[in-house]
Structure formats: structure tokens, C-alpha cells
Chains A and B, each alone.
Chain A
Amino acid sequence: ETGVTQSPTHLIKTRGQQVTLRCSSQSGHNTVSWYQQALGQGPQFIFQYYREEENGRGNFPPRFSGLQFPNYSSELNVNALELDDSALYLCASSTDSKETQYFGPGTRLLVL
């Protein structure tokens, strides 16, 4: 069984740019959640997608947006990058919105 994978592993951008991060769900999982983990802190919930629709969102501005595709893979898009967006971005998948989440290794984003 293939686990959750994310790409790229590392990324460097400059302030004001846009970035797209990708996540492939674990086989059989139809729900994907995205988290931001700043250095030395716990992950912060960004949003969750279930069967291609957003069904939960944390306290992040609209410049954080996402997509989920028919194969349940997902993208996180961040526009107008700010220095504080530098963090590890984690994706997690589950078989249902209510079930246990399995996390990918993350994408480390550095905004200069």
C-alpha cells in the first residue's frame, strides 16, 4: 500500500510569488487535509477536502486555496507569499472525514 506522498520536498520562493504544493493520497482515501507547521510549533489546520469539495477551513486568509482531483490527489496554492509563510506544509489523507489521518513527509517552503 502506497503512503501519502508530497512534492516537492523543498522549495525556495521570494515574497509576492505564488506557489503550488502537491499531495497524493494513500490508496483508498477520499479525504485530504493540509496543515502549516512553523518551526518549533505544532501543525495548524488550513483546510480539508472531501470528494473534491472543501468541507472545513481553519483561520487562514483566502490567498491559501486548494483543489482536490477525481483521483483524490490534492494541491495547495498560496498567492502573494509572505515571509511568515515559511514553514513545513503537511498533507494528510483518510478514508473519510471522520477517520484517522495519515500524514505525508511534508514540503518545506522558504520565502525570502
Chain B
Amino acid sequence: GDSVTQMEGPVTLSEEAFLTINCTYTATGYPSLFWYVQYPGEGLQLLLKATKADDKGSNKGFEATYRKETTSFHLEKGSVQVSDSAVYFCALRWSSGGFKTIFGAGTRLFVKA
């Protein structure tokens, strides 16, 4: 069945370090792909999305490219801040046939000053 796999956390980085959080998916067809962020005690916030192969989503310095050939949607940021500390979720969503959204297990990021 369809699934999303994220790298296990926690990921601990120093401020201004480069961030990569890996995400791969298994799906029949071409779903839309998303990254959500969840700050402590809060709900999910959409960070970025891509709706078709080779699309690049970007927001707040984060970016991810929809790679059909490697079925991946890795999240990157060139210089992290302490305020980026949160849990990041990769997800896929179908635009038909039940509109199911499948989330990865999440990756916790800690950024040290």
C-alpha cells in the first residue's frame, strides 16, 4: 500500500547549519507531496508543497523538490535557526479516490544556539 518514510530523529544541529530531512514515498500514480511543521503544543502548519514531478516547493528558506525517479521529497534549509526547532512531517495526498492523506512518522529537529 501507499506509504511515506522519513528519516528517524531526533536531528540535532547548531544554528546556521545545513538541514536535510529525507522523505521517500511509495504510491501508485502521482500524488501531491507536502511538508508540515508542528511546533510544541500546536497543530500542523503547512510548510510547502509540490503537486507534480520536478516541482519545487519553497517557504521560509525551506525547499523540497518532487523527484519522481527516486520517489523522494527531501526537505532542505541552508541555515537553520533556533526557532526552526519542531517536528517535521512529510505527507502525500491524493486528489481523487478517497482523498486520503498519508503522513510519515515525523522527524524532530533540535537547533542549538
Chain A residues lying within 8 Å of B46, measured Cβ to Cβ, are 100-103
Most chain B beta-carbon contacts within 10 A, residue among A4, A43, A100, A102? A43
Q: Considering only CB atoms, which chain B residue lies closest to A48 in the complex?
A: B99
A63 to B91, CA, bound (A): 26
- Could you tell me the distance in whole angstroms from the C-beta of A107 to the nearest C-beta in chain B? 10
Contacts of A103 in B (CB 8 A): 36, 43-46
**B103 contacts A90, C-beta separation under 8 Å:** no
What residues of B have a CB within 8 angstroms of the CB of A104 in the complex?
Answer: 43
Q: With A41-B105, A42-B105, A43-B89 given, is the CB distance from A56 to B43 under 8 Å? A: no
Check if A33 sits within 8 Å of B101, measured CB to CB.
yes
User: In this assembly, does B95 line the interface, its C-beta being within 8 Å of a C-beta of chain A?
Assistant: yes
A44 at the interface (CB under 8 A from B): yes
Enumerate chain B residues within 8 angstroms of A101, measured Cβ to Cβ: 46, 93, 101
A55-B100 Cα distance, complex, nearest whole Å? 10
Chain A residues engaging chain B, CB cutoff 8 angstroms: 4, 33, 35, 40-45, 48, 55-58, 90, 92, 97-98, 100-106
B interface residues (Cβ-Cβ under 8 A, vs A): 4, 34, 36, 42-46, 49, 89, 91, 93, 95-96, 98-106
**Assuming A4-B43, A101-B93, what are 7 further A-B pairs, CB within 8 angstroms?**
A42-B89, A48-B98, A56-B99, A98-B95, A100-B49, A101-B101, A106-B43
